[in-house]
């Protein structure tokens, strides 16, 4: 197996901020690089969790899915981060002298009118998200969904999606790709995941097979000695940390391949015939 390259340094990374006015040109760049840089690490920022379902549920996975559906159907995506890399961890430079990652800022969420979990929004504010600027300059989700659909990133079994505890992240992406509410059942949800994102790694699921590892993304990165670049709780930086952490985890604990653990989202039950409980 080829050795992974050294992790990127702060000064060598450019977080490309995407707004409505540069959305088309940034997607043109992404379409050019996705074949070579076919590992896509993803993170989203959204207004938290505001609803808890009531009633009887067969098991915790059904309860978790109903919670996810109720919240994603009602709430609006704020930010999406994407980090593209190749098999060995190299990042695209897109004709610059820096490695590029992308941060998409959406316009739909309005802090004065929409429902949200106040602790989540306060945290995002403290981390530098400017909600007024998002409303004025942000991306229209419907246009984003159309561009994502034709980008080569989705509906492509040559692309490996890398995430951390990502049920909600995929929920928001499916909502904007399908332009409808999420399916009523986890089975329906996973049918869509399988179609749009055929190869998915959820690091939180992989950790179950590594005895010494625990905690959230920041804790895991610390344990694996992966350094963060950029601001915590901004989606671009979080997607880069996810990308670097996955590679270190794969090489250190899974002998360079975690493919047999693909296709399971932490906390949501069965997909591809594998049981996650």
Q: What is the mean pLDDT of residues 253-268?
A: 88
Q: What's the pLDDT score for residue 267?
A: 87
Q: How confident is the model at residue 255 (pLDDT cuts 50, 70, 90)?
A: confident
Domain boundary assignment for the chain: 12-261
With a cut of 60, say whether residue 197 has pLDDT above it: yes
Report the mean per-residue pLDDT for the chain.
Answer: 91
Residue 6's pLDDT is 55
Q: Cα dist. 240→138, 237, 262 in Å? A: 22, 5, 19
What pLDDT is stored for residue 4 in this prediction? 45
What average pLDDT does this structure show over 72-78?
95
Query: Dihedrals φ, ψ of 48, to 5°?
Result: 85, -160
What is the DSSP-derived secondary structure letter of residue 100? E
Give the CA diameter of the chain: 56
Which SS3 state, helix, strand or coil, does residue 200 take? strand
For the chain, report the end-to-end CA distance as a whole number of angstroms.
Answer: 32
Instruction: Residue 174: name the closest of 155, 152, 199, 201 by CA.
Output: 155
Model-level pTM greater than 0.85? yes
Which residues sit opposite 139 in a β-bridge? 106
Reported as a single tens digit per residue, the pLDDT across 116-170 is 999 999 999 998 999 999 999 999 999 999 999 999 999 999 999 999 998 999 9
CA distance 251 to 12: 23
Residue 3: is its pLDDT beyond 70? no
In terms of DSSP H, where are the helices of the chain? 23-33, 60-74, 118-126, 131-137, 141-149, 167-178, 186-196, 203-206, 217-223, 235-253
Let me know: does 85 contact 39? Beta carbons within 8 Å: yes
10 Å CB burial of residue 100 (0-12, 13-18, 19+) is buried
Structure confidence at residue 1 (pLDDT): 38
- Predicted confidence band at 173 (pLDDT cuts at 50, 70, 90)? very high
CATH number of 12-261: 3.30.420.10
């Amino acid at each position: 197996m080829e050795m992974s390259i050294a992790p990127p340094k702060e000064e060598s990374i450019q977080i490309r901020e995407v707004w409505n006015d540069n959305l088309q040109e940034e997607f043109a760049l992404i379409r050019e690089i996705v074949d070579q840089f076919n590992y896509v690490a993803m993170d989203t920022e959204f207004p938290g969790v505001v609803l808890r379902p009531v009633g009887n549920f067969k098991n915790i996975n059904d309860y978790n899915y109903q919670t996810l559906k109720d919240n994603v159907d009602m709430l609006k995506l704020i930010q999406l981060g994407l980090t593209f890399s190749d098999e060995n961890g190299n990042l695209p430079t897109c004709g610059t002298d820096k490695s590029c990652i992308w941060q998409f800022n959406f316009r739909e969420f309005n802090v004065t009118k929409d429902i949200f979990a106040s602790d989540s929004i306060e945290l995002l504010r403290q981390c530098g998200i400017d909600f007024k600027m998002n409303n004025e300059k942000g991306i229209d989700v419907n246009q984003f969904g159309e561009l994502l659909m034709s980008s080569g990133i989705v509906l492509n079994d040559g692309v490996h999606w890398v995430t951390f505890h990502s049920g909600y992240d995929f929920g928001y992406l499916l909502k904007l790709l399908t332009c409808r509410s999420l399916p009523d059942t986890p089975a329906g949800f996973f049918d869509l995941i399988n179609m749009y994102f055929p190869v998915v790694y959820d690091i939180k699921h992989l950790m179950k097979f590594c005895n010494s590892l625990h905690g959230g993304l920041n804790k895991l990165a610390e344990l694996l000695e992966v350094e963060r670049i950029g601001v915590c709780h901004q989606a671009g930086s979080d997607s880069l940390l996810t990308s670097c952490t996955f590679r270190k985890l794969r090489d250190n604990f899974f002998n360079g391949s975690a493919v047999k653990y693909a296709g399971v989202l932490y906390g949501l039950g069965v997909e591809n015939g594998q049981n996650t409980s």
